[in-house]
Amino acid sequence: MKRPTLKVIKLPGQMPLVIKQGEGSNFFITSKDSIIISVSGLAVIVKFLVNNGIMSPKVLEGILEEFHSDIGAV
């Protein structure tokens, strides 16, 4: 059985990315105007982006700070 694969390609310019899954992989399903992705699939992509220096860990820290401050405001 083939291992599911995910490939991220950084295009030149302002960091546009192409995310492709290998044949038989099920990280996501796409249509003309939608993407369906599991939480675990999204986590794999975010982890890959951070581990490869495409996304700064500070971005995730900022998201968590905003999340925690929103909870405190409720």
Over the stretch 39-73, which tens digit does the pLDDT of each residue have?
888 888 899 889 988 889 999 999 999 999 988 76
In the predicted structure, residue 1 carries a pLDDT above the cut 70: no
Is the residue at 69 inside a domain? yes
Q: Is residue 53 part of a domain?
A: yes
Q: Which residues form the domain of 63?
A: 6-73
Q: Give the residue-averaged pLDDT of 10-28.
A: 82
Number of compact structural domains in the chain: 1
What is the average per-residue pLDDT within 14-35? Answer: 85
**Residue 1 domain-assigned?**
no
Which pLDDT belongs to residue 74?
A: 59
- Crossing angle of the two packed helices 39-51 and 57-73, in degrees rounded to 10: 130
Q: Give residue 70's pLDDT.
A: 83
Q: CA 31, CA 1: separation in Å to the nearest integer?
A: 26
Domain for residue 26, yes or no?
Answer: yes
Percent of the chain residues past pLDDT 90, beyond the cut: 24
Residue 64 forms part of a structural domain: yes
